[in-house]
Amino acid sequence: MPPLKIGIVGAGSVSQRGILPHLSLPDVSDKVVIHAVCDPAPGRAEAAAAKYNVPTFYTDYATFLAESDVDMITLATPIGMHYQQGKAAILAGKHVHFNKSMTTTAAEASELIDLAAARGLKLVASPGEMNRPHNQAIKQMLADGVIGDLCWAVCGASFGRYHENEIYRTGNDPLTNVDPSWYYRKPGGGPLYDMTVYALHGLTGILGPAKRVTAMSGVRLPFREFKGEMVPCDADDNTLILIDFGNNVFAMAYGTPAGSVSEGFSGSYFGTKGQIVGLKLNGQPFDYPRSDEADRHPHGRWAGNQWILPHVSEHHREIDEHHVFADIMQLVDWVRDGTPAVGTAEHARHVIEIIEAGLRAAESGQTQHLHTSF
């Protein structure tokens, strides 16, 4: 089978940090090649295509879908655009990888899942957190009762200011003037859809589908400054969600401007005989497949966990966004040889429903029952 032709939609920060450099390496060229890049920002698609030797570039998405002749696309655009762009791609006969989050509502995700299934197309949605060996190990330890009866868990992330400080946003040329303002606006902005989504994929991948949620949420920082301009923010940036997994097992997930009560995105799990906090069982590091390899990373095991993701060979180790590359390659393998993907659209839909229902619970003051599963 010849290599699949992929189109990269959005040549902003995530594409430049990871997608373009990973997929440009020769060790994947027998499976997938970048055939086109599309971005409406003046000069950006052309500059990205020139830098990474991509044969074609587009500034109009509809023209890209009609003319580029790609087999699959990766959507690296603002989250609020994923539903419409994903639907258009499916209707054009393309397999789709969604960078997180897949959509902003569960109903949108369901529509895309059904639409793709009816056309025999495949969808993969980041983040595929259950590709990570440590998450699989935590799931097995809980099933084996290593910490006794699980009582509760906590996971989440804080937004910080990293989007404003990325090198791709501080310059004046098309590849370094990427505006981060969408991160702070509805639909799709805020730490839940951008950051907490990782933690929720890990949490639900380990514990299974949730049953119901309640929450408190709001906008803590109504303005942010970028390049001397004040950016109004209307996406909730300060949220605490309580999650019921059934049988009186509860969890808290947070998406906040600052602070953390868990380690990494794996969360912490507390049982009657012990606890798993980050990568430690009862205060001591636990082993998992290739953890010794992760330990050799100069910045420690958390950073080393990026090295041991599927498809991340030595050539890819110094490039960022390893997990995005791994998720894209899941779709490549699924299309080429039928290997099922771990990062399923159904899992992504359930996480999106948790976020969506959490925001609705905060607004209404009423607990929300969940209807999706995976």
Q: Model confidence over 31-58: pLDDT tens digits?
A: 999 999 999 999 999 999 999 999 999 9
Q: What is the reported pLDDT for 81?
A: 98
Give which of 80, 43, 72 is closest to 58, Cα–Cα. Answer: 43
Its CATH architecture, for the domain 133-311+350-369, is 2-Layer Sandwich (3.30)
Residue 321 has pLDDT above 90, yes or no: yes
Backbone phi and psi for residue 315, each to the nearest 5 degrees, phi listed first: -65, -25
Residue 107 has pLDDT above 90, yes or no: yes
Give which of 114, 125, 66 is closest to 94, Cα–Cα. Answer: 66
Query: Could you tell me if 292 and 225 are in contact, meaning their C-beta atoms sit under 8 angstroms apart?
Result: no
State in words which class domain 4-128+325-344 has. Answer: alpha beta
Q: What is the reported pLDDT for 121?
A: 98
Residue 65 has pLDDT above 90, yes or no: yes
User: Rounded to whole angstroms, how far apart are CA atoms 17 and 168?
Assistant: 9
Average pLDDT over residues 106-115: 98
SS3 label, residue 32:
strand
Counting Cα atoms < 13 Å in the Cβ hemisphere of 133 gives 18
User: Rounded to whole angstroms, how far apart are CA atoms 105 and 354?
Assistant: 10
SS3 label, residue 195:
helix
Distance of CA 7 to the CA centre of its chain: 19
Q: What is the reported pLDDT for 350?
A: 98
**Mind giving me the DSSP string for 207-261?**
H----EEEEEEE-S-SEEEETTEEEE--S--EEEEEEE-STT-EEEEEEESS--S
Q: Does the predicted TM-score (pTM) go above 0.75?
A: yes
Task: Look at the alpha carbons of 60, 63, 65, 71 in this order and tell me if their dihedral is positive or negative.
Answer: negative
**Tokens encoding 159:** 């937004």
* Percent of the chain residues topping a pLDDT of 90: 97
pLDDT band, residue 152 (cuts 50/70/90): very high
Domain ranges of the chain: 4-128+325-344, 133-311+350-369
User: Rounded to whole angstroms, how far apart are CA atoms 86 and 91?
Assistant: 9
Residue 160 or 193, more confident: 193
SS3 label, residue 96:
strand
| Bridge partners (DSSP) listed for residue 225 | 230
